[in-house]
Structure 1
Amino acid sequence: MIEVIDSGPLNTIQDLGRTGFRDIGVTVSGAMDPLALKVANLLVGNDGGSAAVELQTFPFRVRFDKKTAVAITGGGSATLDGIEMPPWWMQMADAGQVLEVTPAVGYARAYVAFGGGVDVAPVMGSRSTSLRGAFGGMEGRSLKKGDLLPLGEAVIPGLAADGFGVVPPMLEMASLFPVEDDGTLLIRALPAGEHDLFGADAERFWSQSWKISSQSDRTGYRLSGDPIRLVAPVEMRSHGIVAGVVQVPPAGEPIIQMSDANTAGGYPKIAGIIDADLWRLGQARSGSRLRFVRSSHAEARALDQAIANYLADICGTSQMVARALKTITSR
């Protein structure tokens, strides 16, 4: 059991989300940065999709009631009883110790995974919190002081270790995830169904940089820039949408659907962001700038494979450490 002793709003329990219910209006939810969530889980010996804590406001502090493996990834700086933990690191915490997580520069969210995963009751096959629907996670709400987080059975329970970590994906795969010199994110996407209905404005969608508006959240990122508009008004029925779809409302400033994406909408779609770049958007703060880059199905598949290889290496390292520690403690 983990006791929350300090937490701000919008900090929630998330896994990889609930799928298969969009037809009845249930959003997927899940981690805004699924790659950071997977890495944190693998570091503590969990399945990559186990439930963990997604942090958006800081500080966040918890107290452990027994020896527990804990890992911090994404945009968090952490201390354990006041002693600094390296970033993207797994550490064994002893009973009574306090973990404090504060924000890291350049990131919007941090992820905290515990050995065994956060074992709240699943709703529709997922432990993710849907704040809009007020279900899942911890009673469908943000975490607060006094919450007790139950944990599942850990794969590597009670082991003493100095800890180990991984190279963050933005460093390990820097050549695959480019950023312009001024910090502008280059986000790859494919033209979507109504792309050509924007005429010459469609090219401006790709050529200009966009700023993530302060009116952005887990449902969608609103982008500020020179508006783009349809050549002529068009009547559209509502249609299914998913995370990564870029819609353009009448005002002409695009909206990127994110983890809590609406299940349907009628705004025209100009582009769809490839899955491999969605985690980068999940770490983009309000005020950040991005530019869309035309991609291809082949490039999307290659990037998916690169990420899969990165995670496989981490999984192999974690299993090797677990085996070594079990051998040591059995002597």
Structure 2
Amino acid sequence: MIEIVATGPLNTVQDLGRPGYRNIGVTACGAMDTLALTIGNILVGNAPDAAGIEVQTFPFRVRFSDRGAFALTGADCRATLDGVPLPPWWMAQARPGQMLELSPPLKDARAYLSLAGGVDVAPVMGSRSTSLRGGFGGVDGRVLAAGDRIATGAAADGFLPKDGFGVVPPAVALKDVFPLAEGGALVIRALPAGEHDLFGVDAERFWSQQWKISARSDRTGYRLSGDPIHPTEVVEMRSHGVVPGVIQVPPAGEPIVQMSDANTAGGYPKIAGVIEADLWRLGQARIGSLLRFVPATHAEAKVVETALAAYIADVRKTARLVRQALAAMA
């Protein structure tokens, strides 16, 4: 059990989402940075579908009511436990009464707090993720508030080091796989989508220019500011299915990248789709960040996906070996 002592708007309970209901208009929701949540759950020995807390407004403070393990992943939020600094991408153990504080990160947008046993809220349609638009999931379908008491499930059996342990962040471990920023812009790989060629020469400007994440962005989608692009002629389209990563272009000509709370359908023409393995990086981009999209192939996307899977497998193997070593010493 933890108590929320201080929080800001938009901090919610999230897991990996609720797939399978888009056909009835229910968005999947889930963590904006699924990789960070996945690693956090591995560090504390949770099942892959365990829910954690997505923190995107700071400061964020929680008090532990019971002894328990927790992990911090995602943005480096200069965390402290009773005033003692904690490294990023780290698992630690808290005693009853201890206070964990997360401060505004110097870069990146979202931190993830994973608790041993996972956040114990009732699943809705197979997921504990909060749907703010739908008003369900998580804690009564709303953002977390000071005074909330959050229960955790039963922690998995196993030994964890009392002084904690951590992993090399994916941006470092996979630096040869993920492109560096160019001219201050985050480089995101995407595949040309169904209506790409309808934009004619403007399609080239989509790839060549830098886009800025607008203040009108949220978990549903990132609205991008830049030199508008338009189809060569007016396009009348029926609404079609939409998933996270799809980049649509409304009549004003400034693209929208669908994110975790993506609409289930839409009628704007699609110029591109972000490869799935780059979505976690996009989920860590802050308001005002610059983006540049580069065209990728399916083969290139598969290479990145394979590298990510290998990184996750290596973290899982390391965590298992740590627990086995501690068990042997007990």
Give the structure-2-normalised TM-score.
Answer: 0.97
Q: Is the 8 A contact 1:201 1:229 kept in 2?
A: yes
What residue is the counterpart of 1:27 in the other structure? 27
Measured against aligned partners, the alpha-carbon deviations of 1:288-324 in whole angstroms (never above 9, x if no partner) come to: 1111101011111111110011011111111122222
Please give the residue correspondences for 1:40-51 in structure 2 after superposition, counting only pairs within 5 Å.
Answer: 40-51=40-51
What residue is the counterpart of 1:225 in the other structure? 226
Q: Which amino acid aligns with 1:23?
A: N
Structure 1: unaligned runs, 5 residues or longer: none
CA offset at residue 64 of structure 1?
Answer: 1.2
Aligned equivalents of 1:144 and 1:204: distance in 2?
A: 43
Measured against aligned partners, the alpha-carbon deviations of 1:87-128 in whole angstroms (never above 9, x if no partner) come to: 110001111111111122111000000111111100000000
CA offset at residue 234 of structure 1?
Answer: 1.3
Q: Is the 8 A contact 1:190 1:295 kept in 2?
A: yes
1:305 aligns with 2:306: yes
Bigger CA drift: 313-322 or 18-27? Answer: 313-322
Q: Which amino acid aligns with 1:222?
A: R
CA offset at residue 47 of structure 1?
Answer: 2.1
What residue is the counterpart of 2:149 in the other structure? 148
Q: Is the 8 A contact 1:45 1:155 kept in 2?
A: yes
Aligned equivalents of 1:218 and 1:294: distance in 2?
A: 24
1:58 aligns with 2:58: yes
What secondary structure is seen at the aligned counterpart in 2 of 1:175? Answer: coil
What residue is the counterpart of 2:78 in the other structure? 77
Measured against aligned partners, the alpha-carbon deviations of 1:146-183 in whole angstroms (never above 9, x if no partner) come to: 11111111124785511100111111111211123432
Measured against aligned partners, the alpha-carbon deviations of 1:34-74 in whole angstroms (never above 9, x if no partner) come to: 01111111111112331000001011111112221111111
What residue is the counterpart of 2:295 in the other structure? 294
What residue is the counterpart of 2:315 in the other structure? 314
Please give the residue correspondences for 1:86-165 in structure 2 after superposition, counting only pairs within 5 Å.
Answer: 86-156=87-157, 161-165=162-166
Aligned equivalents of 2:106 and 2:226: distance in 1?
A: 25
Aligned equivalents of 2:157 and 2:115: distance in 1?
A: 11
Aligned equivalents of 2:212 and 2:180: distance in 1?
A: 15
Q: Is the 8 A contact 1:129 1:135 kept in 2?
A: yes
Q: Is the 8 A contact 1:67 1:158 kept in 2?
A: no
Q: Which amino acid aligns with 2:91?
A: M
Q: Which amino acid aligns with 2:137?
A: G
What residue is the counterpart of 1:240 in the other structure? 241
What secondary structure is seen at the aligned counterpart in 2 of 1:3? Answer: strand
Instruction: Provide runs of 4+ in structure 1 moved above 4 Å.
Output: 156-160
Please give the residue correspondences for 1:209-220 in structure 2 after superposition, counting only pairs within 5 Å.
Answer: 209-220=210-221
Q: Is the 8 A contact 1:5 1:145 kept in 2?
A: yes
Q: Is the 8 A contact 2:90 2:167 kept in 1?
A: yes
1:279 aligns with 2:284: no
Report the aligned-residue RMSD.
Answer: 1.2
Aligned equivalents of 1:318 and 1:104: distance in 2?
A: 26
Q: Which amino acid aligns with 1:178?
A: P
Structure 2: unaligned runs, 5 residues or longer: none
Mark the CA change 1:143 to 1:243 in structure 2 (over 3 Å): closer, same or farther: same
Aligned equivalents of 1:209 and 1:240: distance in 2?
A: 27
Aligned residues: 329
Mark the CA change 1:156 to 1:94 in structure 2 (over 3 Å): closer, same or farther: farther
Q: Is the 8 A contact 1:44 1:71 kept in 2?
A: yes
Aligned equivalents of 1:159 and 1:307: distance in 2?
A: 25
